[in-house]
Amino acid sequence: MKYISTRGAALALGFEDVVLTGLATDGGLYVPETLPEFSHAEIASWAGLGYRDLAFKVISPFVAGAIPDADLKRIIDSSYDTFRHQAIAPLVQTGHNEWVLELFQGPTLAFKDFALQFLGNLLDYILAKRQQKVVVLGATSGDTGSAAIEGCRRCENVDIFILHPYQRVSEVQRRQMTSVLEPNVHNIALQGNFDDCQNLVKASFSDQSFLPAGRQLVAVNSINWARIMAQIVYYFYAGLALGAPHRPVAFSVPTGNFGDIFAGYLAKRMGLPIDQLVIATNSNDILHRCISSNDHTKKPLQHSLSPSMDIMVSSNFERMLFDLYDRDGAQINSLMNEFKNSGALHLAPAALDKARALFSSYRLSDEETVAVIKDVYENTEYLLDPHTAIGVQAARKTRRDTSTPMICLATAHPAKFPEAVKQAVAEGDPALPHHMRDLLARDERYQVLANDLSSLKSFISSNIRA
């Protein structure tokens, strides 16, 4: 299996190299040269498999011999041993043919654990084999950072630096990152928003001369292909649980950086019969505007009750554009340069038609989000976090066929976002799970930095272990 850049000018890479590379040299994102496809019979034969065994079936074609099967199985097994629920990704019914897929049973209570526990173990394996040390650099709007830190905190060959927007993540999200005190873990509170964090990370990847000799940056944001690959699995897992491939299924996905719903799109192309994919956004609605009115224009970022979706530039949308434009790298390069320079991008009619055939979209305000949390709790006694609430309401507003199971991805535990929950439910003060009960009393360590590339590079270079 080879991986190619969305902008068409970088060398194709094998699996291990693409995991360690992140952004391509031409500024693009790596995608598989060809996508594995599974037959109806093959998918049907997976019914009843546990999550770990199913993950091996879905992931192994992307690895394609780069890692021996026995080693890959061990990496997968150890990645999901840290999850609190035996099902790994349990389903809960919240309405007629409406289901919530609980993706928050991992160690940091967010869906990012599915990919980042796997990526941490994968990096450990590859780096030990290569006798190599790397610097992991990532930006987070709240959940990626803690999941990446949890996945890498025990990696001997990794120094990890995570940027979060200063005072723009919830206290639980911040403390999940800043209370990890291992010497290889460094948290940076950037005086800016998530897009500023993401821009500094991308700029650092484009010029790595500030690193010591022999070191390179590795991405943990969803620009890293391994993250997308790991997320494909739970679409198959949920679909099989509700009757696929013998019946179609639908998914509604709280969407910020587009990585999670892109994994759903790939699952559909690989053979899972997905009838509808819903892009659910908050007031930072560039993706909804793009699908509904061909308006992919940057606007000022708004701070919301669903901060993990407070993103205006969705990096993984470039991977989607690559397919919408028939994998024409030169055209994607031109489009992305136009967006960088003007802050606006408009899809060609043929690309827009394809996007609208693939995706529905919906946008919710904070007030509407709170109302959904309240409504679902009053009718089912099930407590949603604000991101999941957006997914549930988007599904209800755009659903085409009530006979098709609608699966709403629950991306975080409600205890991570008590502000929204308390506004919705008078007695709602969601407790942290037992293993995190002392979180708010733990010591913290982090560095506040200005939104300045040279300051970031200086901090990183001076804190890398020998």
Q: Which residues are the active-site residues?
A: 112
State the amino acid at position 41 in one-letter form: A
Residue among 253, 263, 264 nearest 287 (CA): 253
Q: What are phi and psi of 219, to 5 degrees?
A: -90, 140
The distance of Cα 146 from the centroid of its chain, to the nearest Å, equals 13
Which of 121, 38, 46 has its CA nearest to residue 79? 121
295 is written with which tokens?
Answer: 């308006």
> Any idea what DSSP says for residue 168?
-
Q: Find the length of the chain.
A: 466
Q: Give the CA distances from residue 199 to residues 20, 138, 176, 193, 303, in Å, rounded to whole numbers and listed in that order.
A: 19, 11, 23, 10, 18
The answer for residues whose C-beta is within 8 angstroms of residue 43's C-beta and 6 or more apart is 236, 240, 244, 245, 271, 272
Name the helix (H) or strand (E) containing 189: strand 185-190
Radius of gyration of the chain (CA): 21
CB 373 within 8 A of CB 426: no
In angstroms, the first-to-last Cα distance of the chain is: 34
Q: Which of 254, 331, 265 is nearest to 287 (CA)?
A: 254
> In the block, which residue shows the tokens 């999901």?
80
Contacts of 341 (CB under 8 A, 6+ apart): none
Of 389, 366, 378, the closest CA to residue 425 belongs to: 378
